[in-house]
Structure 1
Amino acid sequence: MYRLLIADDEALEREGLELMIRHIFPDEFEFLHAENGRKAIQLAEEHRPDIIFMDIKMPGIQGLEAVRQILSKLPSAQIVMITAHDYFSYAKEGLLLGVRDYLLKPARREEVADVLKQAIAVIQEEKRRRNEQLELQEKLAHLLPLAENELTLMLMLEHVQGLELEQLAGLLELQWSKGYAMVLSFPRHSGAAWEEFQQAKREIYETVKQFAKAGLGCLAGPLIGHQLALFIPLPPGRTGYSQRVSSMDWGERLRTLMEQRFGLPVSIGIGSIREGWDGLSRSYREAVRVCADHHDSFSVHHYDDIIHSSGQTAVSLDEEKRLLDALLQRSKQEALERFSMLYAYFEQDGERPLPVVRGEVTGLLLFLARGVHSAAGAEILASLSAAEDPASLRLSAESWLERLLHSLEQEQEHNRSHVHQRALLYISQKYKEDISMEQTAEYVNLSPHYFSKLFRQHAGETFIDYITRLRINEAKRLIAGDQLNLKEICYEVGYKDPNYFSRVFKKAAGMTPSEFRQQHEKQGPC
């Protein structure tokens, strides 16, 4: 049902118009009556009618002025002006205001019906569009948290893939140039305490997310295991040092909130301000590394403070890259040695607490996993988080290094096998022609020297021996078929000289082509 306001200073006109409309559209409208412009404005604001029939000439506030005020509050209202005079002098002003149509008194039944049908069609179309818009907003409301989770996981697990990440950032309307990461690490309970923490995880996550987003405008990652990551934009005009102080203050606020709301101590690590998505990913690794300190297990620490404090230096990014290079080159011994050296630095002769070492090692392995395009980041996080003592942590870390090496070796073997299969397919199509190893190497995009070694490794024979075997086997089949003479068979299998073909055949088969044919004929049925 639609709500229709009829504004006219003549009661007879209002009642007659209502009667006509009730007859044309039974049970379609709820009617409101206004005898002047002021009353029309009041009723419109109070009842929000869908359609308004407004007389132009009324005592007090005139029709056009009433329309102006109503549309300022109800821009979607469908307004039809009614006049007993020639309405053209009012048409321009009314159209500028947003009037839908005009009716001359006395309004004819057909005209009223047409005007209302058009107004109803517009209202229904607007409702349809509005419903579609609301449905889209609802879907987007469900999608945005998923996009935020996906983006933060990509940063945490170092899967920074440009196009996909930019698409997620565009969906979230992010336009960051610089920022930093903050990681909240909750105590690793056991038994009943851990069960209580698990049950409260959802509430903890929502509390941190709402508090941090309201004050920092940040991205909130999922609560994985006992850690929650925030990615925070650098406010414009803020210097690095002042932002470090501000971020420490926010860390203290979050720590206090967790203790007061949930009775939970929490260690908070804050990474350096860095530029771009790669930079945010590295800032996250830094935050993970400083989640716990030498002296107090649960507090707030900034990576820059730890690095600049007495005697401690950051692990050189060059050292991490050298380890990654050793992995990529499948140099197992060098990779293990470099990893052992970095691990010794993380431990510092056993003086650093387990949470600190775990943070350092986790960051390093996530970096390596990303560098070798491994999707094992989530498994690495879960595995290292489960380590309860230094020995099991080191064993788990070394096991993951071995697995990354093994995955690279498997990938290399798969690629080599794929190249070999492409080469065999090419040879099967071309061996009856004047094919060379150089041509085949070029086809699979390898140097002849490397292709020669790779082919022998997979085929167990040289390229020439393989081609010869294919040709001789095909020659035997054709000779047995007894449809071609030996000279024709020579050319058919890729040889240009019948004498050379005969020598090659004898070397491979132990007899000449003629002798092979004679032997085959003797063995055949009489």
Structure 2
Amino acid sequence: MYTLLIADDEALEREGLEMMIRHAMPDTFRFLHAENGRRAIQLAEEGRPDFIFMDIKMPGIQGLEAVREIMARQPGAKVVMITAHDYFAYAKEGLALGVRDYLLKPARREEVLDVLKSLIAETEEAKRARDEQLALQEKLSQLLPLAENELSLMLMLEYAQEIEADQLAGMLNLQWRKGYAMVLSFAKHTPKEWASFQVAKKEIYDAVKQSVKPGLSCIVSPVVGHQMALFIPFPRGRPGYTQRVIALEWGERLRGQVEERFGLTLSVGIGSIREGWDGLSRSYREAVRVCADEQDIVSVRHYDDIAESSGRPAIPLDEEKKLLDALLRHDKPEVTERFAQLIERLEAAEPRHYPRLRGDVIGLLLYLSRGVEAGDGPDLIEDLSACEDPASLRSSALRRLGGWIDGLRERKERSRSHVLQRALLFVSQRFMEDISMEQTAEYVNLSPYYFSKLFKLQTGENFSDYLTRLRIEEAKRLIAERSLSLKEICYEVGYKDPNYFSRVFKKSVGITPSEYRQQIE
């Protein structure tokens, strides 16, 4: 039911309009009556009517002045002006105020009903659009946390593909690509601490997210193992050193909140400011590295501070890439050798400091995991975090590297096998036509050179020999059926010249097609 306010200084006019509308549109309106402009303003404030019929000429506050006051407080009010005279100046001013329509006294029944039906249709359409918008917002509000989780895990586990990451960033309305990572690492020194963390994990996640979102506008990851990560934008124009100090202050604030509310020990690591998705992943690795530094002088540590004060070099990017390249070539001896060199370098830089070494190795393997598309980041973190000494860490890392190489080989063989099966199916369906090795290679989207090598490797014979054998086997079957002539069989199995077919058949079987038929008979 809608509320209709009728403002007119003549009671007979108000009552006549109500009676007309109530009779034509029963159970549609609740009516409010105002005898002057001041009362109309009061009733509009109190009753919040859906529609207002306002007389232009009334004693005291006149119609247009009352409309101006009502519109200032309720911009969406739908007002129809009623007047005994067709005043152009009034009409012009009313339109400027947002008046929807005009009715001339005495208003005819059809005109009044048409105006009301139009206003109702407009209101219903607006309500439907608003409901759709709210439903869309509700769906989006359910999707946004999933998009945030996915993007943060991409950055943590180093499998952020440019297009996918950009799409997720678009959904989250992220306008930045330069920032840094902050890692919160919850202590698990004793079974009791670990049990307390597991119980409070969801509550901790909600508390951290509620604390940082308003001030940092960052991406918050889910809890992975005993850690969660924040990816924080770098404000333009702010000096890097100032941002470092601000980041440390935020880390200290979060550490204090978690320890006070949940009674858990928290270490915070902060990475360098970097650009792009790969840069944010690297900042995360830096944050993980310094987060593992349990024996340092502070609980909140910035990578730049630690690197500057210790002079410990990080693993050069080109060394990481050479190790990844060896992995992708399935060269297990080279992978083992390069990894041994890198871990020896890290051990020399981290004498007697195992947690920091473990953080470096986890970061390195996360990078490699992304490169080989292993998709085992969470399991990797949990597996290596459980290692308690350098020997078990080295052994576990090498075991995982070996598993990746085996997986890559198996994946490559499956891919080759799939390509070959498609090629063989294509040939079996088309061998009676004039097909070539080049056509088949194009069908499976390989170059003729590579396809010929792969075909020989997988089948043990070259393409032309395989095609010939297929055709001759089919010719032998058709000869045995005795339903076709030798000439018809020649064309049926893909040869255009019966003499050439006969020569190929004899070379393959040892006798001519006619001799073969006689032998069968």
Q: Same fold per TM (> 0.5)? A: yes
Q: 2:186, 2:197 within 8 Å by CA — same for their partners in 1?
A: no
Q: 2:34, 2:40 within 8 Å by CA — same for their partners in 1?
A: yes
> For residues 435 and 273 of structure 1, what CA distance do their matches in structure 2 show?
58
> Amino acid of the residue matched to residue 244 of structure 2?
R
Q: 1:268, 1:298 within 8 Å by CA — same for their partners in 2?
A: no
Instruction: Give per-residue Cα distances to partners, 1:175-197, cap 9 Å, x unaligned.
Output: 10311111101112554432321
Once the two structures are TM-superposed, the CA of residue 409 in structure 1 deviates from its matched residue by: 0.9
Q: Give the aligned partner of residue 240 of structure 1.
A: 240
> For residues 288 and 330 of structure 1, what CA distance do their matches in structure 2 show?
28
Once the two structures are TM-superposed, the CA of residue 291 in structure 1 deviates from its matched residue by: 0.9
**139-148 or 451-460, which moves further after superposition?**
451-460
> Amino acid of the residue matched to residue 339 of structure 1?
F
> For residues 48 and 111 of structure 1, what CA distance do their matches in structure 2 show?
24
Q: Give the aligned partner of residue 86 of structure 1.
A: 86
Once the two structures are TM-superposed, the CA of residue 405 in structure 1 deviates from its matched residue by: 1.3
Q: 2:312, 2:349 within 8 Å by CA — same for their partners in 1?
A: no
> Amino acid of the residue matched to residue 62 of structure 2?
Q
Tell me, yes or no, if structure 1 residue 295 matches structure 2 residue 295. yes
Q: Give the aligned partner of residue 249 of structure 2.
A: 249
Residues 503 and 84 of structure 1: is their aligned pair in 2 closer, same or farther, counting only changes over 3 Å? closer
**14-23 or 67-76, which moves further after superposition?**
14-23
Tell me, yes or no, if structure 1 residue 509 matches structure 2 residue 509. yes
Residues 258 and 352 of structure 1: is their aligned pair in 2 closer, same or farther, counting only changes over 3 Å? farther
Q: 2:193, 2:264 within 8 Å by CA — same for their partners in 1?
A: no
Q: 1:87, 1:102 within 8 Å by CA — same for their partners in 2?
A: no
> For residues 118 and 375 of structure 1, what CA distance do their matches in structure 2 show?
59
Q: Give the aligned partner of residue 474 of structure 2.
A: 474
Residues 134 and 478 of structure 1: is their aligned pair in 2 closer, same or farther, counting only changes over 3 Å? closer
> Amino acid of the residue matched to residue 302 of structure 1?
H
Residues 460 and 67 of structure 1: is their aligned pair in 2 closer, same or farther, counting only changes over 3 Å? same
Q: Give the aligned partner of residue 268 of structure 2.
A: 268
> For residues 311 and 76 of structure 1, what CA distance do their matches in structure 2 show?
66
Residues 350 and 280 of structure 1: is their aligned pair in 2 closer, same or farther, counting only changes over 3 Å? closer
Matches within 5 A, 1:309-458: 309-348=309-348, 351-429=351-429, 431=431, 444=444, 446=446, 450-458=450-458
Tell me, yes or no, if structure 1 residue 281 matches structure 2 residue 316. no
RMSD, aligned CA: 2.9
**502-511 or 293-302, which moves further after superposition?**
502-511
Once the two structures are TM-superposed, the CA of residue 380 in structure 1 deviates from its matched residue by: 2.2
Once the two structures are TM-superposed, the CA of residue 209 in structure 1 deviates from its matched residue by: 1.0
Q: Give the aligned partner of residue 524 of structure 1.
A: none
> For residues 389 and 297 of structure 2, what CA distance do their matches in structure 1 show?
15
Residues 124 and 493 of structure 1: is their aligned pair in 2 closer, same or farther, counting only changes over 3 Å? closer
Q: 1:222, 1:228 within 8 Å by CA — same for their partners in 2?
A: yes
> For residues 496 and 136 of structure 2, what CA distance do their matches in structure 1 show?
72
The 3-state SS of whatever aligns with 1:96 is helix
Q: 1:268, 1:292 within 8 Å by CA — same for their partners in 2?
A: no
Once the two structures are TM-superposed, the CA of residue 214 in structure 1 deviates from its matched residue by: 1.6
> Amino acid of the residue matched to residue 351 of structure 1?
P
Percent of aligned pairs sharing the same letter: 68
> Amino acid of the residue matched to residue 3 of structure 2?
R
> For residues 83 and 478 of structure 2, what CA distance do their matches in structure 1 show?
103
Q: Give the aligned partner of residue 208 of structure 1.
A: 208
> For residues 124 and 340 of structure 2, what CA distance do their matches in structure 1 show?
71
Once the two structures are TM-superposed, the CA of residue 311 in structure 1 deviates from its matched residue by: 3.3
Unaligned runs of 5+ in 2: none
Residues 434 and 34 of structure 1: is their aligned pair in 2 closer, same or farther, counting only changes over 3 Å? closer
**367-376 or 215-224, which moves further after superposition?**
367-376
Instruction: Give per-residue Cα distances to partners, 1:441-460, cap 9 Å, x unaligned.
Output: 56655566644442232113
The 3-state SS of whatever aligns with 2:293 is coil
Once the two structures are TM-superposed, the CA of residue 255 in structure 1 deviates from its matched residue by: 1.2
Once the two structures are TM-superposed, the CA of residue 432 in structure 1 deviates from its matched residue by: 5.2
> Amino acid of the residue matched to residue 471 of structure 2?
R
Residues 133 and 443 of structure 1: is their aligned pair in 2 closer, same or farther, counting only changes over 3 Å? closer
> For residues 182 and 245 of structure 2, what CA distance do their matches in structure 1 show?
13
Matches within 5 A, 1:161-240: 161-188=161-188, 190-240=190-240
**331-340 or 109-118, which moves further after superposition?**
109-118
> Amino acid of the residue matched to residue 342 of structure 1?
L
Q: 2:221, 2:228 within 8 Å by CA — same for their partners in 1?
A: yes
Unaligned runs of 5+ in 1: 522-526
User: How many correspondences in the alignment?
Assistant: 521
Instruction: Give per-residue Cα distances to partners, 1:143-180, cap 9 Å, x unaligned.
Output: 22122112112221222222222222112111103111
> Amino acid of the residue matched to residue 269 of structure 1?
G
Q: 2:350, 2:356 within 8 Å by CA — same for their partners in 1?
A: no
**480-489 or 1-10, which moves further after superposition?**
480-489
Instruction: Give per-residue Cα distances to partners, 1:208-247, cap 9 Å, x unaligned.
Output: 1121112111111112221111111111211222211221
- Taking structure 2 as the reference length, what is the TM-score of the superposition? 0.90
Instruction: Give per-residue Cα distances to partners, 1:358-407, cap 9 Å, x unaligned.
Output: 32222222211221233222332333344455444333322321222122
> For residues 229 and 134 of structure 1, what CA distance do their matches in structure 2 show?
31
> For residues 254 and 402 of structure 1, what CA distance do their matches in structure 2 show?
39
Residues 128 and 453 of structure 1: is their aligned pair in 2 closer, same or farther, counting only changes over 3 Å? closer
Residues 294 and 382 of structure 1: is their aligned pair in 2 closer, same or farther, counting only changes over 3 Å? closer
Q: Give the aligned partner of residue 160 of structure 1.
A: 160
Residues 382 and 23 of structure 1: is their aligned pair in 2 closer, same or farther, counting only changes over 3 Å? same
